[in-house]
């Protein structure tokens, strides 16, 4: 499946998060959803971003924005590597990329090279408590974010250009639409 666009209907899914809780997109109808696809659970950039979402969760909740996140990893790897073990929102394992494919999330060597061409970002990642070189040997999944409105229509579809590229959190909290 190709990339999704603004005004596309969000694709429903029914799955379980890493704690075996049901996650059904249609059950969130009537609420704003920030749907975020991360790389693998050992990804330094992903864990930095996940920590930011956790730290600012109260701001999302005050604006009635629900967060659902996916990792291209097994439940076991999420438990072993991901910062999200204390996340107040669902983290869904998808090691077979079933849901990544539904949402057109891409695999790109160019994105890996783009990541390496940003030395300040790379240094920040390598000196963070989340640094894990394992991620460089995983699939070259590129993050993607979707802002889905109360009617389950995509207000914003964002496909990253490198491994740490996401919609700015401020834009999600303020629900800015282009």
How crowded is the C-beta side of 141, counted as CA atoms within 13 Å?
31
User: Structural domains in the chain?
Assistant: 33-173 (3.40.30.10)
What Cα–Cα distance (Å) separates residue 162 from each residue in 10, 18, 38, 80, 107? 24, 26, 11, 24, 10
Report pLDDT for 141. Answer: 78
pTM (2 d.p.): 0.85
pLDDT 10s per residue in the chain (178 long)?
A: 689 999 999 999 999 999 999 999 999 999 999 999 998 898 888 888 999 999 999 999 999 999 999 999 999 999 988 766 679 999 999 999 999 999 999 865 455 545 555 556 655 555 655 555 555 555 667 899 999 999 999 999 999 988 678 999 999 999 855 5
Report pLDDT for 74. Answer: 93
Number of H helices, E strands in the chain: 7, 7
Report pLDDT for 58. Answer: 95
Residues 6+ apart with CB under 8 A from 13: 23, 24, 25, 99, 102
Q: Give the DSSP H or E segment for 49.
A: helix 44-55
């Amino acid at each position: 499946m190709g990339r999704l666009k603004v005004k596309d209907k969000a694709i429903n899914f029914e799955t379980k998060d890493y704690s075996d809780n049901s996650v059904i997109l249609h059950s969130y109808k009537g609420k704003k959803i920030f749907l975020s696809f991360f790389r693998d659970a050992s990804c330094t950039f992903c864990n930095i971003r996940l920590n930011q979402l956790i730290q600012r969760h109260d701001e999302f909740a005050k604006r009635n924005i629900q967060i659902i996140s996916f990792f291209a990893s097994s439940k076991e790897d999420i438990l072993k590597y991901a910062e999200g073990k204390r996340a107040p929102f669902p983290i869904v394992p998808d090691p077979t990329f079933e849901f990544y494919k539904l949402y057109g999330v891409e695999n790109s060597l160019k994105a890996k090279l783009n990541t390496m061409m940003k030395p300040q970002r790379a240094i920040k990642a390598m000196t963070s408590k989340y640094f894990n070189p394992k991620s460089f040997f995983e699939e070259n999944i590129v993050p993607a974010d979707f802002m889905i409105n109360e009617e389950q229509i995509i207000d914003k579809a964002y496909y990253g250009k490198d491994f740490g590229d996401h919609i700015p959190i401020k834009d999600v909290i303020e629900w800015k639409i282009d």
